[in-house]
Amino acid sequence: MNPSVAAEVASSPSTVAFPADFLFGSATAAYQVEGAVAEGGRGPSVWDTFSHTPGKVHEGETGDVACDHFHRFREDVALMKRLNLKVYRFSVSWSRVMPDGETVNPQGLKFYSDLVDELLAAGILPWLTQYHWDLPQALEDQGGWANRRTAELFAEYAVVLHKALGGRVRHWTTLNEPWCAAFLGYANGHHAPGRTSPEDSLAAAHHLLLGHGLAVAELRRRDPELELGLTLNFTDYRPADPEAPGDVDAARRLDGSFNRFFASAIFHGAYPEDVLEDQHGLWREGLVQPGDLEIISTPIDVLGVNFYTGELLTGVEPEQASAAAAAARAGGAPNPNVGSEHVASVSRGLPATSMGWEVFPQGLKDLLMRLHREYTGPAGVALYVTENGAAYPDQPDAQDFVQDDDRLSYIREHLRAVRDAMDAGADVRGYFVWSLLDNFEWAFGYDRRFGIVRVDYDTLQRTPKASAHWYAQVAATGVVD
Ligand code: FCB
């Protein structure tokens, strides 16, 4: 579309246009799509162990085959090209390239090297995520992320990847959603490795961030021009009743432990004081060593933002909150909100996705503005929405086509929110829909479908849904109607 036409459609209230260099892409993660878990010398990861443990994943499903992307990546890249995608965010399986977390497996590296070549040949930018939750089991056996050594090995793993791929891959994300890795993995056990220790979860969170910082510093030293960053997940938390001190405190608490904890460590080189107070007594002595926060806050170029929903929260009077949290921790089911276990979520009454997540696009605009104002703007760091999308109960027709108007509208409204944030000054440069394919949705197995492309799990056939056809137009024209 020529610029004058773009400007004209942009002025219509129902259409918005993005800059020509805005990157439209899609994202996946290794364990969710690759399959081939015992091929090419790959070692087991915590997700192999977890998914094969009875009772951990919906109907005992595993990532053994998943979308078989390992064998079908050329077909998948061709599909991305047909969908006009400019960029593909994939993650590397650490245990495929280093089966025990330490020894290099050239066969595993070759898979990612071939994938990158295929993407570049198709004119698609490869965007690498180093870690999307699948820690080599051998490292978990030595304490996992609760062990400081894992952070050091993570930086060595970064160097191995950079030597093999750095010349061709310029966009580099260290971690995906350290909140989930630490608190779903080590506090409430909903994710691998399934541990339920608040103390371990805080150790894991700190060591994940330390691993990130060590990797960024080392990659920067080797290759100053690399676009480096990490991806954090954010939820828009607000008090159910803005007049109720307990609800205001509840929102402060989860905004603190979920959002500010990571952003503040990365951008301000400190964990927020109020969060440390909420988590008092749960941080192991000597966990944070002198200089750690300086490493963690090593400057980055890009902040990846994963956004799905917002929540209204309710709590108890601030003076009673610590006691209520301790009681909930002692008596209740393990909770990921370490130090704030008493906080509860209240429905806003908005339409929700199959995950039960309320659809709240305004939250994405507000989040991007806030990040720009408080964290990324002052640091001159660019924002990319590295995940956004929705699971819905898809109904395929006889040709396996899904008219997923609900998902299409979810993506459209969130893209509008991104554009609004850009108009208001946020430096957002790209958007990745989650996900390219229906895939293994962690503890929910294959029960929740996020793809813009349907996968028939019997035949592994891929069929673009209505949302994929629509998104292909958006990616080609930069116009959202
Ligand atoms: C994010 C994860 C991604 C996927 C989506 C739905 O938290 O990064 O792997 O599970 O949620």
Q: Which of 51, 177, 439 for a ligand 1 pocket mutation test, highest count of atoms within 8 Å of Cβ?
A: 177
Active site residue 374: no
Q: How far is CA 294 from CA 220, 283, 386, 440, in A?
A: 15, 19, 25, 36
pLDDT at 5: 38
Q: How many angstroms does the Cα of residue 305 sit away from the middle of ligand 1?
A: 12
pLDDT at 14: 81
268-316 tens-digit pLDDT: 999 999 999 999 999 999 999 999 999 999 999 999 999 999 999 999 9
Rounded CA-CA distance 150/158 in Å is: 12
pLDDT at 10: 42
User: Within 13 Å of residue 58, how many CA atoms lie on the same side as its CB?
Assistant: 10
**Angle (nearest 5°) at CA 162 between 79 and 107:** 65
In tens digits, the chain (481 residues) has pLDDT values of: 344 434 444 445 589 999 999 999 999 999 999 999 999 999 999 999 999 999 999 999 999 999 999 999 999 999 999 999 999 999 999 999 999 999 999 999 999 999 999 999 999 999 999 999 999 999 999 999 999 999 999 999 999 999 999 999 999 999 999 999 999 999 999 999 999 999 999 999 999 999 999 999 999 999 999 999 999 999 999 999 999 999 999 999 999 999 999 999 999 999 999 999 999 999 999 999 999 999 999 999 999 999 999 999 999 999 999 999 999 999 989 999 999 999 999 999 999 999 999 999 999 999 999 999 999 999 999 999 999 999 999 999 999 999 999 999 999 999 999 999 999 999 999 999 999 999 999 999 999 999 999 999 999 999 999 999 999 999 999 999 9
355 lines ligand 1 (CB under 6 A): no
Nearest protein CA to atom 5 of ligand 1, as residue: 434
233 lines ligand 1 (CB under 6 A): yes
pLDDT at 9: 41
Q: How many angstroms does the Cα of residue 387 sit away from the middle of ligand 1?
A: 8
Q: How many angstroms does the Cα of residue 214 sit away from the middle of ligand 1?
A: 24
Catalytic residue selected from 34, 140, 387, 441: 387
Nearest protein CA to atom 4 of ligand 1, as residue: 441
Nearest protein CA to atom 10 of ligand 1, as residue: 441
What are 250's two structure tokens? 């509840």
